[in-house]
Structure 1
Amino acid sequence: MLVAERSAPRTVRHWVMRAVAEAGVGGVSNQVVELLTGELVSNAVVHGPDGGSIHVRVRIDRADVRVEVTDEGGGAPKAGHPEPTAPSGRGLALVEALSSDWGTRAVPGGKTVWFEVHGEAD
């Protein structure tokens, strides 16, 4: 668990990347997991309550990686497709485009947003 604050995305990215690298997942899959993890945690910080809790779970099965980010915010996030000049709103569109699968589910006291990346081990 960590607190929803500005440093959370970087902290979680580093933790997830160590776990993924130790499991032998590399190359493009590794980079996609890093990018998408940062997007989900950033969304949890921005759209969850100030100072709320964020929980991150990583599951690695050979080269397949699943990351789940749970926060105390409500709603069901959807991928948006903002205008090119819009300052934000592209995070879940990236998750949708780059992950093998993704989704959301309501949990007691908040929501979980997850993605999976199916790749090749080094």
Structure 2
Amino acid sequence: MTPPGLVFTLGRDTLPPLSELRRWIAQALPRLEADHLWAVQLVVTELATNAYEHGAGPVTVTVSATFRPCSALLEVHDDGEAPPVAGFPHPLTARGRGLVLVGDLAGEWGVRTGDTGKTVWARVDCGTGTLAACALRAEPIEMDPEPC
């Protein structure tokens, strides 16, 4: 189980550091197998990008995990009030696929609204979407010190 309070914050003063966010997820969930980690990283990147582009205020990402059964819960909060909208992009359009990918990879996802904005959450379980299985690593993944 990931310790409570594990939070990554994206400010609005620069472009979002998505490679740092993916690295943080890998460090926060070091025992996930590569396929499950890849899916978790893709989902959190899509949710954070959506919040950054369409939300307001800082974007905070929180992650927690259970290993029996294997599942990662991702929560992305911003101060905006408008809920995310899944797109139906044309095949030649470069944008609008983020929530479609989230829906395919996450076992479930949704939105909670509050007094200060919204939290979009997604649970990425083993064996959902394109994942066939999710074994646990005996040892954490060694991280390359260079950014992606």
Aligned runs of 1:1-122 on 2, under 5 Å? 1-4=9-12, 5-21=14-30, 24-49=31-56, 52-62=57-67, 63-119=70-126, 120=134, 121-122=136-137
Question: Quick check: 2:50–2:84 contact (8 Å CA) kept in 1?
Answer: no
Shift of 1:8: 3.3
More helix by share: 1
Structure 1 portions without partners, runs of 5+ = none
Moved more, 1-10 or 103-112: 1-10
- The alpha-carbon deviation at position 10 of structure 1 amounts to 2.5
CA distance in 1, matches of 2:100, 2:15: 21
Distance 2:60 2:19 in 1: 14
Do 1:54 and 1:69's aligned partners in 2 also have CA atoms closer than 8 Å? Answer: yes
> Where has structure 1 moved over 4 Å in runs of 4 or more?
none
Secondary structure of 2:84's partner?
A: coil
8 A Cα contact 1:8 1:42, kept in partner:
no
For residue 87 of structure 1, report the CA deviation from its aligned partner.
2.5
State the Cα deviation string for residues 12-58 of structure 1 (Å, max 9, x = none): 2211121111xx11131111001111111111110123xx2111110
Shift of 1:107: 1.9
Tell me how large the CA RMSD over aligned residues is: 1.5
**How many percent of aligned residue pairs carry the same amino acid?**
34
Distance 1:100 1:41 in 2: 18
Once structures 1 and 2 are overlaid, which stretch shifts more, 73-82 or 94-103?
Answer: 73-82
In structure 1, C-alpha distance between the alignment counterparts of 2:29 and 2:64, rounded to whole Å: 9
- Structure 2 unaligned residues grouped into runs of 5+: 1-8, 127-133, 138-148
**Normalising to structure 1: TM-score of the pair?**
0.87
8 A contact 2:10–2:16 mirrored in 1: no
**Rg bigger for which structure?**
2
